[in-house]
Amino acid sequence: MAKADKATILTPEGLRRLEEELEHLKTVRRKEVAARIKQSKEFGDLMENSEYEDAKNEQAFVEGRILQLEQMLRNAKVIDNQNTHPDRIAVGSTVRVKELASGDEITYMIVGSAEADPAKDKISDESPVGRALLGKRKGEAVEVSAPAGKMRYTVLHIK
């Protein structure tokens, strides 16, 4: 499967967020950028018009993101955890782990890479920690090789 055809694994919430972002870009942002371009043309010579250049760059970004979102949604695979074992970690699982060296407890939601947001404790199934946790059960120990070094976790809870 070519990279462009790679399935985009999403939770139902992630699918909804991407659809809302696409709708916003198409109905609101496109119009705002078009208005900026029109207004900046009134500033005179387009060759020396930084407002026009900025607006055209923003338009390119918006159109690129629209294409990216459309591609992701075309190849979306919404995860349905009804067919998974509730005692095993899968994409869509929320898992609480204990980092053995520090004793810290951390809660992660395992999501597809399109939804990953480490600041919100949503980690990709393709990340070192996410990949190591997949398929594990409560009570199992996991060793993760990450850029920061080897880390060891114990799975405390799966939801």
Q: Which residues contact 84 (CB under 8 A, 6 or more apart)?
A: 90, 92
Residue 42 has pLDDT above 70, yes or no: yes
Reading phi first (left if > 0) and then psi (alpha if -120 to 50, else beta), residue 155 is in beta
Give residue-wise pLDDT tens across range 138-151.
Answer: 999 999 987 778 99
User: How would residue 1 be classed by pLDDT, with cut points 50, 70 and 90?
Assistant: very low
Same domain (yes/no): 118, 131: yes
SS3 143: strand
| Domain endpoint, select from 15, 49, 78 | 78
Angle at 95 between CA 9 and CA 100, to 5 degrees: 125
State the total domains in the chain: 2
| Domain endpoint, select from 33, 52, 78 | 78
Same domain (yes/no): 90, 27: no
Domain range spanning residue 8? 3-78
Q: H helices within the chain, ranges in order? A: 12-24, 30-41, 50-74, 128-133
* pLDDT of amino acid 4: 55
Residue 3 has pLDDT above 60, yes or no: no
What is the Cβ-side half-sphere exposure of residue 5, based on CA atoms within 13 angstroms?
Answer: 2
| Domain endpoint, select from 24, 43, 78 | 78
Residue 31 has pLDDT above 90, yes or no: yes
CATH of the domain at 49: 1.10.287.180
Give residue-wise pLDDT tens across range 52-75.
Answer: 889 999 999 999 999 999 999 999
Q: Does the pTM of the predicted model rise above 0.85?
A: no
What does DSSP say about strands 122-124 and 149-158: parallel, antiparallel, or unpaired? unpaired
* pLDDT of amino acid 2: 44
Same domain (yes/no): 10, 59: yes
